[in-house]
Amino acid sequence: MDHIYDDLLKKLKQLTETTWKEKISGADITRWSKQFPKSDSAHDNQQLQALFLLSNFIYFGQPEIRELLRSLYRDLYKTPAIHTIRRATANTSDWGILAPAFLEHQRKTRFLGVGNPSESGVHLLYYFRQENSLPKSLFINSHEVFTRDTSTAKPSLQIKDDEIENYIFIDDLCGSGTQAAAYSKEIVEPLRKLKPSVKVHYLMLFATHMGLKAIRDLNRFDRVEAIYELDSTFKSLEQNSRIFTSIDTDFDRLKIRTTCETIGSQLWPEHPLGYKDGQLLLGFNHNTPDNALPIFWVEGTEIGQAWEPIFKRYHKDYN
């Protein structure tokens, strides 16, 4: 079993030297893994199991998230718009025509975050704007979509700027889709009634298969797209999990699942394996989503437990 431990340690060391650089150190890993019970039997060694899970944790640091935001703008917004313009202009490949037409299109676009201004989705907008060198005028809050016309007896809802043709919602992770559904209902439905020609899109960095489907089924948005779609193989402790393949027969999925459930039920009794059973091994530099396994992110002191996270989460408050 020794070489398994050595191999894991080597991989973890390499992670601390590359994508986890300046986020996680060898000391952090030791401190976190020591919280798991150790045993002499290799098969039941929970510390080893924890290290195995950790070695499969996908972390996107700041340079990576910024690049994904660049990709979101360029690949999910700009390029489709350019192509639409091309098709409408006899397929010209002349940037002298395409560029100004796109700028015009962009002038009539507004970007919004999903959720409360202090939450990570909105926080993301700042980096999105920075990375893509976009003017502030393109960014609005949800309350700026409408205005109230108080000139009539009964004040009515009006679109604040009728020139805007495209509204783009931006989010980092869509897990179950419930949050996005809730936030968007109050905006998108009245928007469409007031301006039937409007285009409303929902673009994300990450989305689970389930979440994407839930939002698409609402038939509320023109385009619902994510850079990364996380299918069911990303549920790390389920049967077709992508981390339990032929190489790693040393690790028993069910045993590891039990370890996570046991500790997870102390950390987040309602969702011991992550929000709505997310079971994700995923984190970003600005936060760790709560769909990820709680053993990684729960801050014990907040719940009166002695537990130190390794990829700490700054928790949303659903009150």
In Å, how far are 116, 149, 157 from 186, measured between CA atoms? 14, 18, 12
Contacts of 316 (CB under 8 A, 6+ apart): 119, 290
* Phi then psi dihedrals of residue 176, to 5 deg: -100, -20
**Cα–Cα distance between 52 and 70 in angstroms, integer?**
32
Examine residue 18 and tell whether it contacts another protein (CB under 8 A). Answer: yes
- Give the number of other CB atoms < 10 A from CB of residue 28: 16
Positive or negative torsion for Cα 278, 281, 284, 290: positive
Examine residue 59 and tell whether it contacts another protein (CB under 8 A). Answer: yes
Considering only 1, 21, 43, 277, the residue that binds another protein (CB under 8 A) is 21
Examine residue 238 and tell whether it contacts another protein (CB under 8 A). Answer: no
Examine residue 74 and tell whether it contacts another protein (CB under 8 A). Answer: yes
**Structure tokens, 22:** 């300046």
Q: Which is nearer to another protein, 82 or 218 (CB)?
A: 82
Q: Stretches 105-113, 159-167, 211-219, 224-232: which one binds another protein (CB under 8 A)?
A: 224-232
* Phi then psi dihedrals of residue 25, to 5 deg: -115, 170
Q: Which is nearer to another protein, 70 or 160 (CB)?
A: 70
- Single out the residue of 169, 168, 195, 196 nearest to residue 182, CA to CA: 169
Q: How far is the CB of 31 from another protein (least distance, A)?
A: 10
**Cα–Cα distance between 108 and 93 in angstroms, integer?**
23
Q: Which is nearer to another protein, 33 or 142 (CB)?
A: 33
**Cα–Cα distance between 45 and 130 in angstroms, integer?**
46
Q: Stretches 36-44, 175-183, 190-198, 222-230: which one binds another protein (CB under 8 A)?
A: 222-230
Over the window 94 to 113, marking each residue x when it contacts another protein by CB under 8 A and - when it does not, the resulting string is -x--x---------------
Examine residue 14 and tell whether it contacts another protein (CB under 8 A). Answer: yes
Q: Stretches 22-30, 134-142, 161-169, 287-295: which one binds another protein (CB under 8 A)?
A: 22-30
Long-range CB pairs of 149-157, under 8 A, 24+ apart, other chains included = 157/190, 157/194
Q: How far is the CB of 189 from another protein (least distance, A)?
A: 29
HSE-CB of 108 using CA atoms within 13 angstroms: 15
Q: Which of residues 273-312 bind another protein (CB under 8 A)?
A: 282
Contacts with another protein by CB under 8 A: the residue count is 49
* Phi then psi dihedrals of residue 206, to 5 deg: -130, 145
Examine residue 246 and tell whether it contacts another protein (CB under 8 A). Answer: yes
The DSSP H or E segment spanning 80 is: helix 79-88
Q: Which is nearer to another protein, 23 or 271 (CB)?
A: 23
Q: Which is nearer to another protein, 71 or 130 (CB)?
A: 71
Examine residue 152 and tell whether it contacts another protein (CB under 8 A). Answer: no
Examine residue 69 and tell whether it contacts another protein (CB under 8 A). Answer: no
Q: Stretches 82-90, 113-121, 163-171, 187-195: which one binds another protein (CB under 8 A)?
A: 82-90
CB neighbour class for 97 (10 Å; exposed up to 12, middle 13-18, buried from 19): middle
List of residues contacting another protein (CB under 8 A): 10-11, 13-28, 30, 56, 58-60, 64, 67-68, 71, 74-75, 78-79, 82-83, 86, 93, 95, 98, 206, 227-228, 230, 233-234, 242-243, 245-247, 282
